[in-house]
């Protein structure tokens, strides 16, 4: 599935509307593979910038959105997942300028503009051995390169 098939645009539009209805002051950003032009992606990643992560996370949970990696949540980020229909939608709630923002939004801005880093990420995704810790280490390294 690619962005050009129209599915991603419809899903993104629906989710931006849903999230801004629940969190009117939020900024919603598309990240992940759906952000990279021509990149094949099987999910949509959205980052929602808010002033109060805890209040926003409560609102999203109360709306029926399923928590994701809840045991890893920090004061500066929380994650949710809408599984079931393709594409899967992951939502991260964070505050601008935090480590959560760096890892979930700003790192993707760097990847989008650095073909070598993007190629490295694609190679990482091909090998699922110890994928989560390797992915975390990769993004730690990308975040360390942010201005």
Q: What is the pTM of this model?
A: 0.88
Nearest Cα to 15, choosing from 77, 81, 62? 81
* CATH number of the domain located at residue range(s) 3-144 in this protein: 3.30.460.10
Q: Where are the domains of the chain?
A: 3-144
Residue-wise pLDDT for 66-84, tens only, equals 999 999 999 999 999 987 6
> Binning pLDDT at 50, 70 and 90, where does residue 93 land?
very high
């Amino acid at each position: 599935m690619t962005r050009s098939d129209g599915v991603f645009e419809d899903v993104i539009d629906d989710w931006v509307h849903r999230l801004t209805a629940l969190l009117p002051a939020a900024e919603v950003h598309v990240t992940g593979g759906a952000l990279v032009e021509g990149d094949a992606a099987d999910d949509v990643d959205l980052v929602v910038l808010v002033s109060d992560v805890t209040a926003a996370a409560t609102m999203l949970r109360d709306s029926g959105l399923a928590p994701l990696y809840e045991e890893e949540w920090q004061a500066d980020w929380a994650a949710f997942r809408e599984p079931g229909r393709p594409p899967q939608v992951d939502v991260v709630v964070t505050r601008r300028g935090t480590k959560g923002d760096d890892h979930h939004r700003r790192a993707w801005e760097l990847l989008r503009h650095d073909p070598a880093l993007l190629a490295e990420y694609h190679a990482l995704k091909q090998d699922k051995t110890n994928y989560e810790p390797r992915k975390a280490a990769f993004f730690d390294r990308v975040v360390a390169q942010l201005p």
